[in-house]
Amino acid sequence: GENVEQHPSTLSVQEGDSAVIKCTYSDSASNYFPWYKQELGKRPQLIIDIRSNVGEKKDQRIAVTLNKTAKHFSLHITETQPEDSAVYFCAASTYGNTGKLIFGQGTTLQVKP
């Protein structure tokens, strides 16, 4: 079955710097890759997603890149702000249109003011 590995597990950056979180997946048939942000005590919330027919997607300070050949995708946050501090999860769809997602282990991002 699908397996998603996420790195790093923790990341600390200075306000204004960029942050990059990387994920690899095992199932070459996976075709949908969302990213979720979870603030302390809150629910995971979708921040950006990408499909396998696109190599890059950007939304203001957030961008996601996908390399299907290497089976990895990355989240890029530019000009980080203290409110970006949270746990970030990547996920990959499983084969077939079931809606099931396999989540990475999460990355705790700390943005220091």
Partner 1 sequence: DAGVIQSPRHEVTEMGQEVTLRCKPISGHNSLFWYRQTMMRGLELLIYFNNNVPIDDSGMPEDRFSAKMPNASFSTLKIQPSEPRDSAVYFCASSLVSGANQPQHFGDGTRLSIL
Long-range pairs, 34-43, Cβ under 8 A, ≥24 = 34/90, 34/91, 34/101, 35/64, 35/75, 35/88, 35/89, 35/90, 35/91, 36/88, 36/89, 36/91, 36/103, 37/86, 37/87, 37/88, 38/86, 38/87, 38/88, 38/89, 38/106, 39/86, 39/87, 40/86
Q: Which of 50, 80, 89, 90 is the binder for partner 1 (CB under 8 A)?
A: 89
Q: Does 80 bind partner 1 (CB under 8 A)?
A: no
Q: Does 42 bind partner 1 (CB under 8 A)?
A: yes
Q: Does 43 bind partner 1 (CB under 8 A)?
A: yes
Binders of partner 1 in range 7-36 (CB under 8 A): 31-32, 34, 36
Q: Does 105 bind partner 1 (CB under 8 A)?
A: yes
Q: Which is nearer to partner 1, 4 or 80 (CB)?
A: 4
Binding residues for partner 1 (CB under 8 A):
31-32, 34, 36, 42-46, 49, 51, 89, 93, 97-101, 103, 105-106
